[in-house]
Amino acid sequence: MKDKKIIIAIDGFSSTGKSTFAKKIASMLNYLYIDTGAIYRAVTLDCLQEDIIKSVSPFAIDMDRLVERLSCIRIDFTIEQETGKSITVLNGKNVENRIRSMEVSEAVSQVSGISEVRSFVDSILKKFGEKKGIVMDGRDIGTTVFPDAELKIFMTANTETRAARRLSELRSKGDTTTTLEEVTENIRKRDEMDQNRKISPLRKAEDAIVLDNSEMTIEDQMKWIKSILK
């Protein structure tokens, strides 16, 4: 296992703890961790900032400007010195907190359903995959981006657990106003959109192993993955 670097694809529903799990696996194996949802979120944030997306009702996307804008978007990841946390960088700026806001969460499923956006993100992801030794989490990594990934995991958990997790993430980032009901509704809407969009819908790859972590701690999940990696 130590010698042969592989691609680990982790897909699943939103707020199932994919990123926490993926980061831990990456650090255990000394692999690179890529949060693909963060890339879709950064594209969405950029379009909101540029007024390409109007988030106040009626919600609207200027498609021509969005497609044109993609060539101006640069997304990177860096590690924060003090905390060791992975930070998403959009055109040179740390946007890690802003991409997790409710405004971005409300718009990202629509943006990630656009074929030009998916091709743009896929080209970034494929570059990361060239050297192997990566853990990538998202919705279509095992099905579309890396269908030949050596290990595929599909994560799920019940809605209550997922909503509680997302709310606590928002609180830790300083959001004191969003309610549990709003988060639950957002999760429900995103499940619906992620599973039903035309391009690369969220679905389990045939050869993916399912992990339902509703009742599992992160330690339980690490034991589980160690037994699989063996």
In the complex, the residues that contact ligand DC under the rule CB under 6 A are 14, 36-37, 40-41, 108-109, 112, 138-141, 190, 194
In the bound state with ligand DC, the residue whose beta carbon lies nearer, of 36 and 86, is 36
d(C-alpha 150, C-alpha 84), whole Å: 28
Structural Rg of the chain based on CA atoms: 17
Smallest separation (angstroms) from ligand DC to the CB of 41: 5
CB of residue 193 to ligand DC, shortest distance in Å = 7
Alpha carbon distance 194, 181 (integer Å): 20
Dist CA 125 CA 114 (whole Å): 17
Cis peptide before 147 (omega within 30 of 0): no
Question: Least distance in Å: CB of 119 to ligand DC?
Answer: 12
Joined tokens for residue 214: 């509703």
37 or 129: CB nearest ligand DC: 37
In the bound state with ligand DC, the residue whose beta carbon lies nearer, of 45 and 108, is 108
Give the bridge partners for 7, in sequence order: 134
Closer residue to ligand DC in complex, CB, 14/213: 14
Residue nearer to ligand DC on the CB measure, 195 or 226? 195
CB of 122 to ligand DC, least distance (A): 9
Residue 8: HSE in the Cβ half-sphere, 13 Å Cα cutoff: 30
CB of 125 to ligand DC, least distance (A): 8
